[in-house]
Amino acid sequence: MNLQLGDVVPDFEAPSTEGTIRFHDWIGDGWAVLFSHPKDFTPVCTTELAEVARLKDEFTKRNTKVIGLSVDSVESHLEWEKDIEETQGQRVNFPMIGDPESYVANLFGMIHPNASNTFTVRSVFIIDPAKKLRLTITYPASTGRNFAEILRVLDSLQLTDAYMVSTPVNWKDGDEVVIAPALSDEEATQRFPKGFIKLKPYLRMTPQPNR
């Protein structure tokens, strides 16, 4: 399936290390990050899963659940999690979907046959409370992901959903933001009491409104 931004993501039922998951119900009223890794018992994935576990509180602060997936069984995930804790000093504290038949992987287009027709690529999906896909990134198997970037995008999405702003290049929480071109200067003055700098009619910067 060729999932595109704004699509409602597929719902599915699948086994996980924390029991059977019905995906949309599991997401509930918050946000979710679904990410795939190529294979259990592989080095880069071992470091990634520990990092996501370390960042769990950061995801929770953003009302976001995380869930991993590879085309291995739940039993395999559970065995591998022992190695992750042993080598990385971090327990995996989020569910991992077992998908040995590649059912979920195919639903989400996580297998790219010209890269590998058996392993999942490193996909990341950010899903909003309406179950709509808001971001997808695909990394090659040999490159571990930067999960700080995923948190940064969550901050941006949640901010831009709440205010009529966008976030400029390399923005991070607390930086100036861009006022939506659809707002007139008068409307911008009302909505952004901290004021704004007008560099061009289409480029108006204002302090982050929720700070």
Catalytic residues: 45
As given in the structure block, the two tokens for residue 72 are 């291995």
Q: Does 39 bind ligand BEZ (CB under 6 A)?
A: yes
Q: Does 44 bind ligand BEZ (CB under 6 A)?
A: yes
Min CB(41)–ligand BEZ separation in Å: 9
Among the candidate windows 15-23, 41-49, 54-62, 183-191, which touches ligand BEZ by CB under 6 A? 41-49
Instruction: Pick one of 43, 89, 193, 201: the residue that binds ligand BEZ (CB under 6 A).
Output: 43
CA 74 and chain centroid, separation = 22
Bridge-based pairing of strands 133-139 and 122-127 is antiparallel
Residue matched to tokens 């039922």: 13
Min CB(38)–ligand BEZ separation in Å: 4
DSSP 108: T
User: What are the beta bridge partners of residue 17?
Assistant: 19
Q: What is the torsional sign of CA 24, 26, 31, 35?
A: negative
Min CB(48)–ligand BEZ separation in Å: 7
Of 128, 19, 7, give the one whose Cα is nearest residue 65: 128
Is residue 14 classed as helix, strand or coil in its secondary structure? strand
Q: What is the torsional sign of CA 15, 131, 9, 70?
A: negative
**What residues between 90 and 119 interact with ligand BEZ by CB under 6 A?**
119
Q: Does 45 bind ligand BEZ (CB under 6 A)?
A: yes
Question: For residue 184, what is the enclosing H or E element?
Answer: none
Instruction: Determine the size of the site formed for ligand BEZ (CB under 6 A).
Output: 9
Binding-site string for ligand BEZ from residue 124 to residue 153, where x marks contact by CB under 6 A and - marks none: -----------------xx-----------
Min CB(81)–ligand BEZ separation in Å: 15
Q: Does 38 bind ligand BEZ (CB under 6 A)?
A: yes
Q: Which residues bind ligand BEZ (CB under 6 A)?
A: 38-39, 42-45, 119, 141-142
